[in-house]
Amino acid sequence: MNIPALLIGRILLAIPFLVLGLMHFPGAESMAGMVPAWMPGGVLWVYVTGVANILAGVAFITGKQARLAGQLTALMMLIFILAVHLPGMSNPAMAQMSMIAILKDLGLAGGALLMTHIASSK
């Protein structure tokens, strides 16, 4: 196993989660519009997912609780795809941006699932 490549990969996977998590706080009010209307809590979910993203990024870098973080993060990404991005496909003006978000979150979910394998093989 190539340890430097694994470390670099873990760091590269963590960066989007850390940055996106931090972006949830100053932009919480504008991001609250992305929370599906059927979910109570609105802006609270923005803060919760922001914290979850930051914790996932830290877990991926440090390797502490990385398996659990990978599982929960992959689940969160798949929920985002189903609850936020797929419904956005019904709006022709937003379909391309929704597809980009779907593909981004699929990639992040895949990386998070790979982290579960890396963490469990230690």
H or E element that contains 24: none
**Can you give the residue ranges of every domain in the chain?**
3-120
- Of the candidates 5, 8, 10, the residue with the CA atom closest to the CA atom of residue 117: 10
**pTM, full prediction:** 0.88
**Contact (Cβ atoms closer than 8 angstroms) between residue 115 and residue 77:** no
* pLDDT string in tens for the chain (122-residue length): 567 888 899 999 999 999 999 999 998 989 888 888 888 888 999 999 999 999 999 999 999 999 999 999 999 999 999 999 999 899 999 999 999 999 999 999 999 999 998 877 76
